[in-house]
Every structure is written in structure tokens, then in C-alpha cells.
């Protein structure tokens, strides 16, 4: 009978190891901001549920729908950053625009918002702006240079 058990040796001597390492390096290509994807998704999730956390669903119904839609948009951007980073990091500037919009939206969308609503949207907007600038800066830095 043949010995089919595998010994627990070092895989670096495997003939396909260099090809697997090269494939893994290509796959991770421009993933310098992989740690930003999670916080962006969590920010979108918080933005979507913030009207119910801060209880302004009855006093600001237009801001409830606004925060829900913008939160879903931020979450979808985060999922796009995770799934197709080489295509999506060009939309990092959209995160910056969403951040600026979230900062000014209580006065444009809402009707006489109170301090809690204002500060909630300012914090969400500032975080979206910062995370968008981090993504955009890293994407610009890792982009291939054209002669």
C-alpha cells in the first residue's frame, strides 16, 4: 500500500509557491487603505440608524429619510471599496463631498434642528470627510505614474 499521508514540511519548497506568492501580491495590489473600509462601513451604518438612536424621528422626518439614504450610500461605497478597490478608490472624493453635505444638511434639509441633530451630522460629516481624504490620498499616492 502506498504512503499517502502528507508530511508537515515547509511549503516554500513547493514548486508552485513563487507563483502563489506573485498571485497574492497582485491580488493585494493597491490595498494600502484596507483598514479604512471597515470604519467607512460602520460610519454608514451609524448614519443610517442615527435618527432612531438620537430619537429625532418625529421632530425631523425629512432628516430621518436623508440620514437613512446617505448612510446607505456610505455603506455601499464601503462595500465597493472592499470588493473592487482599484475601481472604487476614484470615488473617494465622493466620500469627501458626502462629508461636506452631511455637515451642512441639518440647516438645508431639516426644519429648525436642535443641537443634538446638528452635532450628530457634523461628527458624521467630519468623519466621512477625513476617511474620504485618507482614501483619496492613498489612492493618489499608489496610482501608477504616467510619463
**Chain segment 76-89, per-residue pLDDT in tens:** 999 988 887 777 77
Q: How many CA atoms lie within 13 A of 74 on its CB side?
A: 33
Contacts 24+ apart (CB under 8 A), 90-93: 90/139, 92/132, 92/133, 92/135, 92/136, 92/139, 93/132, 93/136
* Higher pLDDT among residues 34 and 133, named by residue: 133
pTM: 0.74
How far apart are alpha carbons 127 and 120 in whole angstroms?
A: 11
Residue 81 exposed, middle or buried by CB count within 10 Å (0-12, 13-18, 19+):
buried
pLDDT of residue 91: 85
Asked if 100 contacts 133 with a C-beta cutoff of 8 angstroms, the reply is no
How far apart are alpha carbons 99 and 71 in whole angstroms?
A: 11
How far apart are alpha carbons 36 and 88 in whole angstroms?
A: 13
pLDDT of residue 31: 54
Nearest to 63 by CA among 46, 50, 80: 50
* Per-residue pLDDT tens digits for 97-118: 999 999 999 999 988 889 999 9
How far apart are alpha carbons 115 and 120 in whole angstroms?
A: 8
Amino acid at each position: 500500500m502506498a504512503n499517502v499521508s502528507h508530511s508537515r514540511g515547509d511549503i516554500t519548497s513547493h514548486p508552485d509557491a513563487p507563483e502563489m506568492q506573485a498571485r497574492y501580491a497582485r491580488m493585494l495590489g493597491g490595498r494600502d487603505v484596507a483598514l479604512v473600509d471597515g470604519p467607512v462601513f460602520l460610519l454608514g451604518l451609524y448614519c443610517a440608524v442615527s435618527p432612531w438612536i438620537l430619537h429625532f424621528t418625529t421632530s425631523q422626518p425629512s432628516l430621518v429619510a436623508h440620514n437613512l439614504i446617505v448612510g446607505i450610500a456610505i455603506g455601499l461605497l464601503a462595500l465597493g471599496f472592499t470588493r473592487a478597490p482599484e475601481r472604487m478608490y476614484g470615488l473617494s472624493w465622493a466620500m469627501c463631498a458626502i462629508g461636506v453635505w452631511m455637515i451642512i444638511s441639518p440647516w438645508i434639509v431639516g426644519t429648525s434642528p436642535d443641537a443634538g441633530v446638528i452635532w450628530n451630522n457634523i461628527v458624521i460629516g467630519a468623519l466621512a470627510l477625513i476617511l474620504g481624504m485618507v482614501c483619496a490620498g492613498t489612492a493618489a499616492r499608489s496610482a501608477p505614474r504616467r510619463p
